[in-house]
Amino acid sequence: MYVYGSKDRLFINTTLGCRSRCSYCYLPSLDYELGASNLMIKDSDYVIGMVESRSDFIQGKKGTIISLGCYSECWDEPVRESTVALITYFLRKGNPVQFATKRYVACEDIEQVSKLISWRGQLSIFISSTTLTKWNSIERGTDSPDIRFRSFDLTKKTGVPVYLYIKPIIKSVTISDLNKYVDIVKNKDVSGVIIGSKFIMSNESNNNKLAPISNGKLKYSKKSKEEEYMYMTFSQKVLTFTESVQAIDYWRNYA
Ligand code: SF4
């Protein structure tokens, strides 16, 4: 599904599937391919047309949040140009725009679009990571954390907030890198941290709310003790949220 959501938040993809192969990725449970050798990429104008033809899209700062790439890696090299076109279009509309990625986001790719930002926090970037020491086996085909985390240099140069996005917390794995993550927050220009829950199939038993994507197929897993501990640790040091939209609401409502 290239466009999915509601008046509050629309998820937009110009491709479906991903060339990487993260072991915890939910895409296969939605029948999208991992390790895809050939991505079919839709023209950004086609996808924009799909958004504009919806009656629930609301323009402007308090309008629909535009989240790029829930069924794809929107900053992968073949997809990047169409992602930049979407960012350009929706920044001009005044809407909040966000994306999460496991790729390096270079300053020169953001510099031009950052000039279109009309309110602080309108564009926000989430650098996703669930493991540092086991990156090579768990997040196969992504940029290494070292390369990925160079994206935190963006904030000083462009004013775009860049968050450390730790989701999902993998049992016994993510927490084992906690001190290293804390060092990253200390030493890099990290605008905040998201500690997010895993999505599981909605037929698994718990009473948690449905995920904002997937048409009812996925829901949030129960928060683990490790997740709570990580949240508590970061919240004592830096702005910390459990969902990326809270970072947007922070900027558009309070900052
Ligand atoms: S980069 Fe994202 S979309 Fe691609 S396999 Fe990893 S988690 Fe899935």
d(CA 120, CA 161): 9
Burial class (CB in 10 A: 0-12, 13-18, 19+), 51: buried
Per-residue pLDDT of 202-215, as tens digits, reads: 877 777 888 888 78
- Cβ proximity of 9 and 245 under 8 Å: yes
- Residue 110: both structure tokens together: 């953001």
> In percent, how much of the chain has pLDDT > 90?
87
The residue to mutate among 21, 102, 138, having the most atoms of ligand 1 within 8 angstroms of its beta carbon, is 102
Q: Tell me how far the alpha carbon of residue 32 lies from the centroid of ligand 1, in angstroms.
A: 11
Cross-strand bridge partners of residue 20: none
Architecture of domain 3-254: Alpha-Beta Barrel (3.20)
The residue to mutate among 13, 15, 18, 79, having the most atoms of ligand 1 within 8 angstroms of its beta carbon, is 18
Q: Tell me how far the alpha carbon of residue 25 lies from the centroid of ligand 1, in angstroms.
A: 6
Q: What is the mean pLDDT of residues 143-149?
A: 98
Residues with CB under 6 A from ligand 1: 18, 20-22, 25, 27, 34, 73, 102, 142
Per-residue pLDDT of 4-33, as tens digits, reads: 999 999 999 999 999 999 999 999 999 999
pLDDT band at 255 (very low <50, low <70, confident <90, very high): low
Closest ligand 1 atom, residue 72 Cα: 3
Lowest mean pLDDT, pick from 14-23, 33-42, 147-156, 193-202: 193-202
Closest ligand 1 atom, residue 19 Cα: 4
Q: What is the mean pLDDT of residues 172-197?
A: 96
